[in-house]
Structures are given as structure tokens and as C-alpha cells.
Structure 1
Amino acid sequence: MNALIRPHPFAFPDAALDDLRQRLANSRWPDRETVDDWSQGAPLAKLQSLCEYWRTGYDWRACEARLNTFDPSMTHIDGLNIHFLHLRSPEPGARPLVLTHGWPGSVLEFLDVARLLADPRAHGGDPKDAFHVVMPTLPGFGLSEKPTRPGWTPERIARAWVVLMERLGYPAFLAQGGDWGYSVTNALGAIGAPVVQAVHFNMFPITEEQSAVDAAETHALKRLRAFKDNESGYQAQQIQSPQTIGYALTDSPVGQAAWFYEKYEVWTDHDGDPEHTLSRDQMLDNISLYWLTATAASSARIYWENSRSFKEQPIAVPVGVSQFPRDIHESSRRWVLERYPTLVHYKQVAKGGHFSAWEQPVLFADELRASFCHSRDGNRD
């Protein structure tokens, strides 16, 4: 192992878990919503049930043990400690791949799909489609260090990922991302060859300024308007006052749970209950990670940073896009091609939402294999 990389397993003290349970026991609840749906936010009864399970039935140590099977490590890059998971493939021809999460996500989204990607032979796949999978945590999220000064933009994070991959022995690699992972992966794609060989996105942001030429594109613009009108309050808050919302979420586990639980309801592809797509344990794994690392404010600051600096870059290397049906943005092939003429793979996937790797790991893995197969073989869909 590179001397600049050191093991850093997940091991939160018992006192932190005891404090969490005590805070949950002492929660002060608001009155019930005046509607019978989620239109005013997470319903009181649903959230109380989730938090009671968090207090009395949930096992963080099981999540911790699972995370620690992925070689959790830390390295210092550009003045900051960056935490990451790493799963090497047993296949000698495996290609290195970095997966970048977003908000309110984490590396937990990728645990199932990482095993499918690293060892396709063990899951009935073609060993030619194997990847060495690297899953870094964004600065200010999880166990990565919290920046103490502004400036950790998606472009700077992308440059840090290049250093990370080089330290792991991967001077050339593939990159994938959605949500904030889209912004970081766009910056990686702009760095391009010979370092970044191809990129894949599971989210392609659109704007209301785009023109629609058919019913599907018209529907996509209506979906975007509905998001801005009814679902984007968190975004405005975190762009304008990430520190202010951080006080509430860092002090109250119920507040942290509600802030995320609503997103699981709105952004996952479910049958009417988000817990039928992501289990309570999966939700609480992610909520607990943010709670235990006290990263509500530091993770929200990426919205503040991005609103002041990010500019989407052109990409010359092969691009793949997978459109999952319940995501925030619904992009057409035409819209993607307008911005990325090097598009080699585009597919509208049958099922999945904003957390597609977490919700549908098999479909997500299939999409990455197809996309990076095209970039490897020089063909297009």
C-alpha cells in the first residue's frame, strides 16, 4: 500500500450511540400535519415509527461491520483528509472506476453494486466487465475531513480524486456520478484522457430554458417545474444558509431523520411507501452516518459553494447516461447529445429513482457495464 494511505475503519464509540438513543427518547414532537399525505412533509406517525425503531431496534454496528469489509482508508490530499472505500477485483484485466455520491447520499449507496462490478464472474456476468471500485467520501461528508475554508468546489474535488486514484496505482480510470457526483464527474470528464478515459452519469440536469420537441420532453419540463415549486425548499435553504440549517440537524436526530426521510419518499421509485424500496435499516444506515459524523452543516455547504462557482464543462471522452424514471431530472437523448456529442450510451431504465445504485443495484451495474463496454470497444448504442 502507498505510504500516504492508512487504514481508517468505522468505529464510533458506544457513548455516541448511547447519546443518540437518549436524544431520541427525549424528543419533543410537533403536532400532527393537517393533511393525510406527504404534502406538508414527513407525516408525524411515520417519522415517530421510524425513530422509535432507530432507538430500540436498529443496529449501527451491523452497518459498521459491512462498511469495514471494503478496506476503509484515509489519505491527505490538498490539505484535507479524504476517506474512501476500495474494492479490488479478482480479475487481472479489471479497469479502475471511481464512484462519486451526492446529497443526501453517501458511499453506502454503492455497497451492493460495488460487489457486482468488482466480481461479475461470481454473479453470473462476464469477467471482462470487471472493475476495481473506489468510493471516496466527499469533503465535509461522512469520515472525510470538513473544510474550514471555502473553495472545495466540484473541480477541486475532481483534482483530488485524480491524486487519490494515482496513489492507489490507477493513473488512468473511469468515473461515474449522479447528484453532486454529476458535478464532480463532469469536472473529471473535462480533465479527460489520458487520465480519465470515460464517464457515466445516472443524472443529467436539465433547465427550463431547454426546448421540448415531443411529449416526453414536455413532461420532463413539467416534472422539473414541479420539483422547483414543491420539492426544492431544502435546496434554497442549503444554498443560502447551510450553517443555519446545520444547527437544527446537528442537535436533533429527529430533525436529521425527517430532513432525509422526506427525500426518500419523493425521490425513490416506490409503490406508495418508500420503505418498500429502501428498508428502514438502509435509510437509518445513511441517516446515522450523517448523525454520528455531525456533517449536516458541512455537507450542506457544497450547495453554497456550487451556486457561486460551478460551470459545466465540455467533455471529449466517451459519455454514458442512464435515465431512471423517478429521478428529479428526466433527460432525453437529444438533450444529452446537445451538450455531450461524445455520447456512446443512453438508456431509459425501467425502474429506479434518484438513488439508483441503492434502489436498483443490478440494473445500475448493467448500465455501467454497457456504457463502459462501449467506451472500451469504440462503439455506440
Structure 2
Amino acid sequence: MNISMVGIDYNTANIEDREHFSLTFEKQLEIAKVIKERYHSSGCIIVSTCNRTEIWFSELGTSELECFSQLVIGENAKETMDSFCVCRQGDEAVNYLMELGCGIHSQIFGEDQILTQLKQAMQQAREYQYIDSVLECLFRIAITAAKKVKTNIQIAKSNTSLPHAIVEQLEKEQGDLTGKSCLVIGNGEMGRLMAQNLLEKKCEVWMTLRQYKKSKAIIPEGSGVVLYDDRYEHIAAMDYIFSATKSHHFTINKNTFENKRRKGKNYYLIDMAIPRDIEPSVEELDDVRVFNMDYFSQEAKGRENVLEETRELLSEYVDEFKQWYQFRNLASTVDGISDIVSEITDAKLTKVYKSIDISKEQQEQLQSNVQMATKKAVSKIIFGLRNVLQVDQCEEVLKALEQSAMYCVK
């Protein structure tokens, strides 16, 4: 299979290094265009999240590492390739994607956000037309498989989101969070999840909101609102500050924070973003602790039984994709046979159509429906050969059916 991927994730790069690989929406479109036009890949999908940056290829005519180096890393950072980048091809890539969707390669074991992120990556590639049928099918099957796993296997013992893991860890280290004053910077999905988890722990929560988003924002019930531009004016009273934005500049910088904080008060700042939202030097201040998402990682140790059960279920979907991949080149032949059978059926029913007391428009609609149903039925039967014959045997049968169909229309 000419399917491959290259990328970095939290296993190969720390947060300081990962943030250099974070791709904006505009950068992703630029990279996809070059991959299609310069490197002549049949299709690509780009997955860029807080914990990973990956490019998926179909029919790539050059080195995956070369693409990643030229388009993501840059000429001046090639020495990082061996330590950061992971390449997977063929079966290894397919198996990895199936597992990735289930969250078993995530920093928070079994988390659900990766499934949404894969859907969004596929939809973006589809919308901007840099996906092909192979990657479309692969990602669609992987997403379906992940949903099946989530329904049938309890991968994690509790909520698997990053915000839940953060709250859980803070409770272990800091004790009961009831009544703690918390500011959540960012009104995206992750920010809202963070606010909801804090509210469930009976914290006093405020969320930042940009002025231009006021009419569209979704604020969790029970949370207060602070305008983003006024965030520093509220910092002094906060115990915990969480930042989860997609901004490429700091939401909290050292100098301003130092001037606005209350001397002698302990502050806990949790940075949930890549690139980082909180200026790293903030941690140099007295009575201030800064955590990034790597601090809240949850390893997969001790989950061997779950992994075995998950991989066994996923193997069915891996086989489904491989079978589709093997037969995809026969699709045009199947379509041709279906079209011929549809034409024959239409011709056989000409007198029947004329004998029915309906309008011309209704007759045309009926003919169209019969033709479509015939095509689908024939295709379904022919593709069913995959379950009883080997690929080479199917090719012989299809060749014979095609010749027979052509003979029938002569």
C-alpha cells in the first residue's frame, strides 16, 4: 500500500520543541498545495494538534522526511529530523491510525478529543480538495472503528479529557478545590470543557471573552465573564489561571503579571496550549507555579488487556480497509458492468413504462429510480465477490462478466 505518514508527537518532542511545529490553518493549506503540486502526491491530510503534527500521504513520489523537512521544519533545522520525526508506511501506518483514533496513542490515555480532531482534519482536506479516495476511505474507516471501540470497550476508567485529567491531578496535589477562584482564558472547546470541570468541583469560575465574540459565545452556566482585554485586572484575586487559546502570542506575560499579582499570594498557572500561551519566564516569579500539558500525561502502563482487546476489534476494520484498497482498481470495471445491466433493464421495461398511466415527468423519474437501483444491486453483488474469491480470481471473473455484458449490448 502506498500510504505513509510522517510527524512528531509528545513521545519524540517536548513541549518547547513541539510548539515550533504547530501549524496555523493558513500554513496547513499552503503545505497541502505544495505536496499536491510539487511532490505530486495523490492526496494528503494534515493533523495538527497540541500533542502532534502529522502529514498523511497517498501515492507520494518522494521521501516523507524530505517533505516534512522542507515544508514544516525548514532548512536550518534538518539536524532535528532523526530525533523528532517518525515515519510509517503501509500496514504500520494503517494500524497506527486505527489506534490513534481510539486515543491509545494520546497523552491522556483513551481521550476523546483526538477523534474530533481526525474528523476535522479529514473535513478540511475534503473541503479544500487535497484529499483523495484512499485517504478518505482510510480516515472514514478509522473514525468508524474508533466509535465502535468507544462503544464496546472501556478504554479508560473515567472521563478522558485533558481538562478532567488536569482537575484530577490538581486535586491530588492541592486538595479540595471547592471555592477556589479560577480564570479560564479562551472560549474555545477546550476552554469550555475546563470551565465545566471546574464548576463541577464547585470552583468560582470566570471565562475570558473577546468583545467581538460576545453575541456568539457559549458560556457554561454558572461561569462569570471577563473581557479578554481586561484579564489582567482580575488576576490578583485568582488562585488558578488556565489558558487554552490558539493564539500565537502570549496571553500572560511576565512583566504585566508581576505588576498585577498580589505579593505573597500563591498562584497556579496551567498552560493548555501549543504554542504556549504563558510566557515561560513567568515561572521565575516567587510564589508562582506554571504547568504545561506534559505535566498531566497519563501513560498506558498496566492497560495491556485493554490494548489487546482494542487491537483485536480494530483488526476487523484494518482488514476491511485492506480489502477495499485491493479492490479499488476494479471499481471502474464494476461501474461499467452496472451501467450496461442498467441499460438492458431499462430497455426491457420500455413497454412497461408506457403501459403505466403516469405523466412524462413521472415516467422519467421512475426510469431514473429503476436504473439507479439496478446499478446499486449489481455493484453490491459483484463487490460481494471479495468475500469468496481472491483478488486475482475476482479480476478473472470481472473480465469475463465485462465481456459478457458487452456481448449482450451488441
Considering the TM-score relative to the shorter chain, is it more than 0.5? Answer: no
TM-score, normalised to structure 1, is 0.26
| RCO higher in structure (CA 8 A, sep ≥6) | 1
- TM-score normalized by the length of structure 2: 0.25
